[in-house]
Amino acid sequence: MRRRAVAVGAAGVAILVIIVVAGAMGRHSGGGSPTTTDPTALEGWRPMSPAPMEGRTANPVWTGREMLVWGGGSCTGNPCRGPNVRPLGDGAAYDPASDTWRRIAASPLRPRTASTQVWTGKELLVWGGDAGTQSLADGAAYDPATDGWRILAPSPLSARHTSGVWTGRELVVWGGHDAATDAYLNDGAAYDPAADRWRLLPASPLAAREVRVGAVWADKEMIAWGGGTGDEAFGDGAAYDPATDRWRPLAPSPLSGRVGTAEVWTGKEVLIWGGTPGTFNNYFADGAAYDPAADRWKPLPTTSGRFTDGVWTGQELLVWGGVVPTAGGGQTTPVQSAADGFRLRR
């Protein structure tokens, strides 16, 4: 049986979101029907206040004070990909200290799903992504201090949706998927916002794939794990060191291959949680923590399974939005875009 990666497909890629009935969510880490769970009863997790925008799957970033959410896509039908995903071009910022949201200024970029987004310490960098069946190769930067945007220099990479990290000096992106040609990619580049300039990366030991949000910066390396193609979800990973301009493979993970995971760096570990094996009737509620110093993994607590992303505040993993099944379960379970979230303290 062929697997279809959730965020990729012949018709194009979409990062997706879920609108969930308050107090009822599917908890699902395997096949069959999800059970209904009260999110307020999940140990270590608590809900956020309602957002001033519709449910979606997006690539949120943490600024040190706020979680910024821009763009993404909303499911309009099942399966939740290609023409069944509506690209979005608005955004908002969430302050966990006050549990409040604010809308951000309109962007010069067209609405899109699956864009690469990172925080530099001053700006939110947004690059690439998909607008329906067309992949994009442009980008812009948002400054929350001025609530303004600027356009990025042209990239040497082809149009795609992909994953990226901020190293403290550069935005590094690798791999991805071109929605127009249905091609999976294994090249990458780095962008320096100070010089407004790009450079190409060396070849990676990983097979071509769409990692989506499955890459994080771990002090001195970019950790890329998981991801998939239209036929396979991967459970391997590698680390790229820009100082040496080299890659290394990661130790085997206890997690099964998947796409659409929440991945963050805590200062000591990479936390990987949730995702899907590439189908919308199966959502993982498990996760693991990877210690790059020891090249070792350990399991995380479980909660409601979903295809999503997350940010690290310095104390907690924040997970908001994503894709979840509606009530009922089964192999033809409809999906919906979520507008709720959870917090996990480490």
pLDDT by residue for the chain (346 residues), tens only, comes to 333 333 333 223 333 232 222 222 232 333 333 333 454 455 577 899 999 999 998 888 889 999 999 999 998 887 777 788 999 999 999 999 999 999 999 999 999 998 999 999 999 999 999 998 899 999 999 999 999 999 999 999 999 999 888 999 999 999 999 999 999 999 999 999 999 999 999 999 999 998 766 788 999 999 999 999 988 999 999 999 999 999 999 999 999 999 889 999 999 999 999 998 876 668 898 999 999 999 999 999 888 788 888 888 999 999 888 887 766 544 445 677 788 888 878 8
CA distance to 206, 237, 308, per residue, from 187 (Å): 10, 15, 24
Q: What is the pLDDT of residue 280?
A: 61
On whether the CB atoms of residues 107 and 136 are closer than 8 A, the answer is no
Q: What is the pLDDT of residue 208?
A: 96
Q: What is the pLDDT of residue 46?
A: 83
Q: What is the pLDDT of residue 334?
A: 61
292 token code pair: 């790059």
Rounded to an integer, what distance in angstroms lies between the CA atom of residue 344 and that of residue 346? 7
Q: What is the pLDDT of residue 221?
A: 96
Which DSSP symbol is given to 228?
B
Q: What is the pLDDT of residue 289?
A: 95
Task: State the number of CA atoms in the 13 A half-sphere of 292 facing the CB.
Answer: 25
Chain centre to alpha carbon of residue 327: 24
CA distance to 127, 165, 210, 218, per residue, from 162 (Å): 9, 11, 6, 18
Rounded to an integer, what distance in angstroms lies between the CA atom of residue 149 and that of residue 161? 20
Of 194, 233, 226, which is closest to residue 211 (Cα–Cα)?
Answer: 226
Rounded to an integer, what distance in angstroms lies between the CA atom of residue 154 and that of residue 197? 8
Q: What is the pLDDT of residue 144?
A: 97
Q: What is the pLDDT of residue 310?
A: 86
CATH class of the domain defined by 25-345? mainly beta
pTM confidence score: 0.73
Q: Which residues contact 316 (CB under 8 A, 6 or more apart)?
A: 96, 343, 344, 345, 346
Q: What is the pLDDT of residue 341?
A: 81
Return the beta strands (E) in 8-112 as ranges. Answer: 25-27, 35-37, 61-62, 67-70, 73-75, 85-87, 91-95, 100-103
The domain segmentation of the chain, as residue ranges, is 25-345
Which DSSP symbol is given to 85?
E
Rounded to an integer, what distance in angstroms lies between the CA atom of residue 24 and that of residue 305? 13
